[in-house]
Amino acid sequence: MRLVLDAEAVNALLHRDHHSRGQVRNSMRAAIRLQRDVVVPTIVLAELYRGAGRSAAVDALLARDADALSLRDTDRSMARLAGAVLAQAGLGSRYLADAHAVAAAVEGGGGVILTGDPADLARLAGPYPTVAVEPLASPGGRGRS
């Protein structure tokens, strides 16, 4: 079982004033306490690397949290699994990063995906009963549906 972070969950870690920062940190602490991996598919980083300043902030976060975060590169087996996730949901490559988040959870035997996009992730994760989608808190402090 894994905790998988999508781009918005990682973005929450980048900004001290992000409305979901505490939720993401608490989820990470719980996963670590339960000896679960906290995984960020590296394709998610492509959504976050947007210019020198932003890229430096992402790299600083990854260095600072290196002991807590595992990066999952896309090798052939991950590509095959992400493709299967897309095929099962009948979706195209527009959802490639989200499919990698689901694939990372499936690969780990299941898990929870923290996401700012629960509708799309739920659609992709639907065929996989061991994968749960956890929406990030909305700016008002309550989870999104």
Does residue 16 have a pLDDT over 90?
yes
Confidence of residue 138 (pLDDT cuts 50, 70, 90): confident
SS3 141: coil
Phi-psi region at 100: left, alpha or beta (left = phi > 0; alpha = psi -120 to 50): alpha
Domains defined for the chain, CATH in brackets: 2-135 (3.40.50.1010)
Task: Work out the mean pLDDT of the chain and round it to a whole number.
Answer: 94
Does residue 144 have a pLDDT over 70?
no
Digit-coded pLDDT (tens) for 74-114: 999 999 999 999 999 999 999 999 999 999 999 999 999 99
Please check whether residue 100 is in contact with residue 120, taking contact to mean a CB–CB distance below 8 angstroms.
no
Sign of CA dihedral 82, 121, 6, 67: negative
Please check whether residue 44 is in contact with residue 10, taking contact to mean a CB–CB distance below 8 angstroms.
yes
Higher pLDDT, 56 or 143: 56
Does residue 145 have a pLDDT over 90?
no
Does residue 31 have a pLDDT over 50?
yes
pTM, rounded to two decimals: 0.93
